[in-house]
Amino acid sequence: CKALTGIDLTNCTQWYRFVEIYYHRAETVHKGKTVPAQVETVVLYLPDVWSRLPTRMEWDGLHHNYKKKLDQLLQQKREAEGDDKDANTGAIPKKEPTHYAQLDPKNMKLTELREELEARSLPSKGMTAQLIARLIKVLKSEQDKEEKENASKTEAEKIAAAREKEKEEERKKKEEEEKKKQKEREIQLLEKKYILPEKSHILVHPSRMAKGGKFDCTVMSLSELLDYRQDNSKEHSFEVFLFAELFNAMLMRDFGFRIYKSLVEAPEKTKEEKDDKDSKSKDKKSEKDKKDEEKNNSDDVDDKTKKEQAVRVTMDPYLLLAFIYFDQNLHGHLSDKMIEELLHSLGLQLSRAQIKKLVQKVESKGLVDYRKLTDRPKDEPKQNGTHSTEDLVTLAYGNKRLLPIFDESISPKKRSKTKTTIANTGIPNGYAKVKGSTVNISKLQTEFKTSVDSCRESDKLLEKLQTENERLNEQARRTSVAIEKLSMELHDFKERLSNTSSELSGVEGKTKWYFTLMNEIYEKLQPVFANKTEKKEAEDCQDTEMREEDVETQKETEEKMSV
């Protein structure tokens, strides 16, 4: 069991011998040797696994270790994803060339011109005018090439290409969504494996080596075990099914006896005649009157039932469990015939009249509403069981005492012998002799009770401290995540700052170089512009003189004409 499931049953103190199976093996031949006929015995034990449950402190330690392991796995996963991102960001991707329709080379900056030329695998060194001419030439060739391709393509091909592009985009989106879902599934699977419930449980670790790594353990209910195929003749399956049937029979017997005990304790009906008269008068009513009354009184009945449900509380949960075990559809009631058959199957040798009398105490119209037996008003004080152990023994025997075969089991001679042995010991009531010393049992009980109460209080305080610790751990985890996020953002900003500073230094160097170049050009072109200005001034002077002479000649001619 420990090798296959990881459950250590050495701490189980009680092992119940539940089933013993005998296989009659016929004579067979194995590896050339005759094996004689023999009887093989298989015994199934039912261990008390509740004694194997970890204590509160052990469970808290397991809870903490599993949570720590989960945090480690998630941290490793985040680091692996971060390494992949760093590897992707470390290799600077080559910029794709921009479409020619979106570019205007004459209005572009020098850095943009160089980037576009580098994206097209062209030299990016030279003057600005050279780069512009080079880029314009390339863009024109791209435009001519695209126009030729568009001219050769038909409209159907264009539509097909557009559809293929859309499909490719959809495929990429689906792949991204699937990756995200896969990550979420992996995280959920890890949390399901490593997050333990609050209450202590028995942990199962299936062996990874058994059955080639396909061995697994599942939790199955008793109803699933009972729903087996009749043609399954394997020995191991047969043993499991036989165990399930016997376990079901044991539960039916125990729950049936609890129901029988509750029927014995139930009070007798005091108003049977009135109920009979009311039932007869109700039967005489017509269906129309019944429908009208149901419509008029439905609201009142609902209010009453709500009040009763709000006030009534389950006082005997074990009895409720016994009834629910047989009420598989959870109708809230059982038929009187079903309860009669159940009481007959207990083997108490009760007569039909006795069983009918017990069932009639609680049945109404052929049904038994077991909530009336399990639930009580909230204000009503809790009633302790009136039956002692002797009464329970008499109930368990039923009518067997009347049969002669069972007389020796509870003979009065044995009772008298036990009483005389107790009286002869000379030990007073409430005391016991253990290893030669008398022990006060009542005092031990009180001390045990106080220790149990103190343990409960310490458990409550421990749970409170654990919740506070979990809250603080969660807060610390959130702050650590926020710190990691801020540190990553700071790292990104530092990288951006370094990149921008390097670009700025490069731009400053280029500006200085351009400034010196412009100064050299200005110094070389300055004398040329000076000569041009002198010539222009001389020409302007000549023009003014010519104009003055023309004006004077014009005046002279006008004077002569006037004379």
Whether 323 maps to a domain, the answer reads yes
Is the domain of 247 the same as that of 209? no
What's the confidence (pLDDT) of residue 425?
A: 45
- Judged by DSSP in three states, 330 sits in coil
Is the domain of 269 the same as that of 373? yes
Boundaries of domain holding 214? 2-53+202-219
Is the domain of 274 the same as that of 324? yes
Tell me the longest C-alpha to C-alpha distance in the chain. Answer: 187
Whether 296 maps to a domain, the answer reads no
Whether 107 maps to a domain, the answer reads no
Q: Read off the amino acid at residue 132.
A: I
What's the confidence (pLDDT) of residue 423?
A: 43
Is the domain of 210 the same as that of 274? no
- CA 170/CA 497 separation, integer angstroms: 36
Whether 523 maps to a domain, the answer reads no
Per-residue pLDDT of the chain (563 residues; tens, 9 = 90+): 788 888 888 777 778 888 899 999 898 888 888 889 999 999 998 888 877 788 888 888 888 898 888 888 888 888 877 666 555 554 445 567 777 777 787 888 888 888 888 887 788 777 788 888 888 888 888 888 877 776 665 666 767 777 888 888 888 888 888 888 888 888 888 888 888 888 888 888 888 888 888 888 888 889 888 888 877 778 888 888 999 999 999 999 999 999 999 998 888 877 654 455 455 455 544 554 555 555 555 555 455 555 445 577 888 889 999 999 998 888 888 998 999 999 998 888 888 999 899 888 888 888 989 888 888 887 766 665 555 677 778 888 888 877 765 554 445 555 455 444 444 444 556 667 665 555 667 767 777 787 888 888 888 888 889 889 999 999 999 999 999 999 999 988 998 898 898 889 888 888 888 888 888 888 888 777 777 777 777 777 777 777 777 777 777 777 777 76
Is the domain of 369 the same as that of 244? yes
Is the domain of 268 the same as that of 329? yes
Last residue of a domain, one of 386, 403, 424: 386
Contacting residues for 557 by C-beta, under 8 A, at least 6 apart: none
Number of folded domains in the chain?
2
Is the domain of 337 the same as that of 379? yes
User: In the chain, count of helices (H) and strands (E)?
Assistant: 16, 11
Under a CB-based contact definition with an 8 Å cutoff, are residues 195 and 203 in contact?
A: no
User: Does the reported pTM lie above 0.75?
Assistant: no
Last residue of a domain, one of 339, 360, 386: 386
Is the domain of 210 the same as that of 313? no
